[in-house]
């Protein structure tokens, strides 16, 4: 049976203990529910709305955590890159999949530099793009011979603070022939509202949207979770607790099995 892809982890690297707790939980869940796990955590957040907000650990600390996760749990690792100089650091050697951030998804120089690393590329579709326009990003990546691509749908701008998740986008993105992932957590963020506030997201919609997008043909989910989400240093309003993640999977798996068993 085709395996469900799950890109999951903490929003950002915080400390070894938090990362290890999350990775151990996810590794156990992937074995129990038989999904393909890709562990995601940003080593740096360069799009915070205030200079006072947490943006990440040092490069050496981040590398140490990623190396530990790979050694202990044999994980496929994914992280995002916001600047060209980051692609010349040792982080690239440790992770398996490089993520092109949504806000930067049309940046040609960054896209080509990432593609030339000959690693997997996860395109986060910009919330300002129609799904059909992702072909321009794909063309850039393919132009340097890299066809190891995933596309993540993270919603489309609707008004000033809301994003909307449209199942038609999954249909359109699947036409490109690459796996399509639905980013359930970021779709329910309230942009412009600090993620540390309860009003910074509406995660009660995550199960409904996830079920709809899997039924529409998405190949997997992008979910951020945290052992103590209320005190998470980024996106605390939309990161799931471990129990919420478990409940979500238990809702998704039956739909997946009906579609692909």
Residues 204-228: tens digit of each pLDDT:
999 999 999 999 999 999 999 999 9
- Cβ–Cβ under 8 Å, residues 161 and 192: yes
Portion of the chain with pLDDT greater than 70, in percent: 96
Residues 72-92: tens digit of each pLDDT:
999 999 999 999 999 999 999
Average pLDDT over residues 47-53: 73
Q: The tokens 């992702």 sit on which residue?
A: 134
The overall longest dimension of the chain from CA atoms, in Å, is 49
Residues 132-156: tens digit of each pLDDT:
999 999 999 999 999 999 999 999 9
pLDDT of residue 197: 64
Sign of CA dihedral 154, 158, 162, 167: negative
In this predicted model, which residue has the larger pLDDT, 9 or 189? 9
pLDDT of residue 78: 98
- Please state, in angstroms and rounded to a whole number, the distance separating the CA atoms of residues 85 and 144: 19
**Which of helix, strand or coil describes residue 121?**
strand
Domain extents for the chain? 5-260
Average pLDDT over residues 188-199: 69
For domain 5-260, which architecture applies?
Answer: Alpha-Beta Barrel (3.20)
pLDDT above 70 for 48:
no
- pTM for the model stands at 0.95
In this predicted model, which residue has the larger pLDDT, 28 or 158? 28
Pairing label, strands 162-164, 156-158: antiparallel
Residues 111-125: tens digit of each pLDDT:
999 999 999 999 999
- Token pair belonging to 115: 């593609």
pLDDT of residue 230: 92
Average pLDDT over residues 25-52: 91
Portion of the chain with pLDDT greater than 90, in percent: 83
DSSP code for 14: -
pLDDT above 80 for 184:
yes
């Amino acid at each position: 049976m085709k395996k469900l892809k799950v890109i999951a982890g903490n929003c950002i690297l915080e400390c070894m203990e938090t990362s290890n707790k999350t990775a151990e939980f996810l590794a156990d869940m992937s074995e129990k529910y038989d999904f393909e796990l890709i562990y995601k955590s940003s080593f740096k957040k360069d799009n915070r709305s205030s200079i006072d907000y947490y943006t990440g650990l040092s490069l050496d600390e981040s590398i140490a955590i990623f190396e530990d996760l790979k050694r202990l749990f044999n994980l496929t690792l994914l992280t995002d890159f916001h600047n060209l100089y980051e692609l010349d650091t040792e982080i690239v050697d440790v992770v398996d999949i490089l993520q092109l951030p949504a806000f930067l998804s049309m940046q040609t120089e960054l896209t080509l530099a990432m593609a030339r690393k000959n690693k997997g590329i996860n395109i986060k579709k910009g919330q300002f793009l129609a799904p059909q326009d992702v072909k321009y990003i794909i063309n850039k990546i393919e132009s340097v011979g890299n066809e190891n691509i995933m596309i993540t749908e993270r919603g489309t701008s609707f008004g000033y603070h809301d994003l909307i998740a449209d199942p038609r986008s999954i249909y359109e993105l699947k036409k490109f022939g690459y796996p399509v992932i639905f980013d359930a957590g970021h779709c329910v963020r309230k942009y412009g509202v600090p993620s540390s506030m309860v009003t910074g997201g509406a995660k009660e919609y995550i199960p409904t949207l996830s079920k709809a997008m899997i039924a529409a043909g998405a190949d997997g989910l992008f979910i951020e979770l945290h052992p103590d989400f209320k005190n998470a240093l980024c996106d605390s309003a939309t990161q799931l607790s471990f129990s919420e993640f478990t409940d979500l999977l238990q809702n998704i798996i039956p739909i997946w099995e009906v579609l692909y068993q």
